[in-house]
Amino acid sequence: MNHFLKEWKDPAILLTSIGIASIGDFVYLVAINIIVYQLTHSAAAVAGLWMIGPLTNMVTKFWTGSFIDYRSKRKIMMITYVIRALFICFIPFAPNMVVTYSILVILSVAKAFFTPASTTYITMVIPKEKRKRFNSIRSFASSGAVIIGPAIGGTLILVLSVEVTLWINALFFVVAALLLACLSEKESIQKDAIPRLRLAQVVRDFTVVQKFIKNNMYVSLIYVGYIFIMIFSFAMDAQEVVFTQQVIGLSEMDYSLLISITGIGSIVGAFLLSFLSNKLSLRVMIGTGITMWSIGYVIYSFSWSFASIVTGFIIIGFFNVFLNAGIATFYQNNVPVEVMGRVTSIYQLIQSAGQVVFILAIGIIADIVSLRYTIVTLAIAMLIASTAFLYFLLKPSKHVYFEE
């Protein structure tokens, strides 16, 4: 028992830190949507919140990996948490939308640094044989945050105010940073050896990423395939409120209930996965996850009632955790930590560019044709892409990439 506690001490602290920050993300999401709507009374301004992350990534991801790979990942995570806490506190004092959006861009830049740094640090802290279990439990924590975060945010806004909610929200990120401070440094950084962040260095690092992709074509194919399929879901999610209320005819109360039920589906899936992860292979987790996830979106796209759309959303929520935990483990096992920051940043740059293009295209097409046909087409295309993905995933000759 003591041996088990000792082995899982650092992973447990890391999970708690990430889980608290995830809850903070959802509390923030509820509050910022309300603040932007109160300031503008514009649905378009609220929808614009979807674009800040991808657009910021397109500007920053060219060079974030070059910064991250040569510096302490733990310290970068801690600093980004503190920056997010600080600027979330500033939001209530913003006099207009220009200042508000400027703060949101800064928060998005902090997150652009956090994601590649956290991916690399998790890989350093968690041994290969424990990664699948860790990622499964992390999926459980993230799924719980989907329910707990908005519930906390909504309650605090009702009892106190949006402004006080944001100040309390900042504390979540401070606590997450303090927990990271309890963890050990997993790398030896020599300050003299850190190259200056210049254009020439960024270009050299691009060459390193290009070389990795060339020498690891199968790993790149699987991960880029996953990103491509994720973009389909992101484009559909961006139209989710309009589709459920205008096309299917759900009320705002129905929609809120729908999101809660989806979250419960995710929690149940993640809870089961946290126990079953050691009995399931990575291929089964990824293959089952991506197939059923796509089928869930097809059911959603053809839905005509609350019951039918709930069915689709429960399937999406339940199997999403299998897919994400499987892909995260596959990625950590096949990308060396020495280049993980740079490789992750470039992959996220590709993902963000695809998200921006898809969201704009779907918005235009939905006005020309109809939103129903647009969502149905996207869902079917996603299912076809998932079938092609399965073909490459299950190639017998590639089993070595899925060894644990």
CB 342 within 8 A of CB 207: no
User: Which pLDDT score, from 0 to 100, does residue 47 have?
Assistant: 67
- The Cα–Cα gap between 362 and 364 comes to 5
Q: How high does pLDDT run on average in the chain?
A: 85
For residue 98, count other CB atoms closer than 10 A to its CB.
Answer: 8
Does the pTM surpass 0.75? The reply is: yes
CB 268 within 8 A of CB 139: no
Of 4-8, 135-139, 244-248, the one with minimum mean pLDDT is 4-8
For residue 374 the two structure tokens come to 């647009």
How is residue 196 annotated by DSSP?
P
* Confidence band of 129 (pLDDT split at 50, 70, 90): confident
CA nearest 243: which of 366, 360, 364?
366
The DSSP code sequence of 141-154 is HHHHHHHHHHHHHH
What average pLDDT does the segment 172-176 reach? 95
- pLDDT of 226 higher than 60: yes
Looking at this protein, which amino acid is placed at residue 281? S
pLDDT digits (tens, 9 = 90+) for 362-374: 777 877 888 888 8
CA nearest 43: which of 252, 275, 351?
252
- The Cα–Cα gap between 178 and 376 comes to 46
- The Cα–Cα gap between 35 and 91 comes to 9
Q: What topology does CATH give the domain 2-183+197-396? A: Growth Hormone; Chain: A; (1.20.1250)
- Give the three-state DSSP class for 95: coil
CA nearest 66: which of 254, 216, 251, 195?
195
- pLDDT of 2 higher than 70: no
For residue 18 the two structure tokens come to 């990430």
- pLDDT of 327 higher than 60: yes
pLDDT digits (tens, 9 = 90+) for 227-263: 999 988 888 887 787 788 888 888 877 877 787 788 7
- pLDDT of 143 higher than 60: yes
Residue with the larger pLDDT of the pair 13 and 3: 13
Handedness of CA 119, 122, 128, 133 (dihedral sign): negative
Chain centre to alpha carbon of residue 98: 26
For residue 199 the two structure tokens come to 């254009």
pLDDT digits (tens, 9 = 90+) for 29-48: 888 878 887 777 766 676 67
User: Which pLDDT score, from 0 to 100, does residue 224 have?
Assistant: 92
Residues 6+ apart with CB under 8 A from 135: 277, 324, 325, 326, 328, 329, 332
For residue 249, count other CB atoms closer than 10 A to its CB.
Answer: 11
CB 262 within 8 A of CB 233: no
- The Cα–Cα gap between 397 and 26 comes to 42
pLDDT digits (tens, 9 = 90+) for 337-355: 888 888 888 888 888 888 8
* Confidence band of 137 (pLDDT split at 50, 70, 90): confident
- pLDDT of 74 higher than 80: yes
CB 247 within 8 A of CB 295: no
CB 229 within 8 A of CB 389: yes
For the chain, how far is it from start to end, CA to CA, in angstroms?
24
Express as a percent the part of the chain with pLDDT over 90.
30
Residue with the larger pLDDT of the pair 44 and 305: 305
- pLDDT of 144 higher than 60: yes
User: Which pLDDT score, from 0 to 100, does residue 291 have?
Assistant: 95
- pLDDT of 275 higher than 60: yes
For residue 321 the two structure tokens come to 């955790």
User: Which pLDDT score, from 0 to 100, does residue 360 have?
Assistant: 78
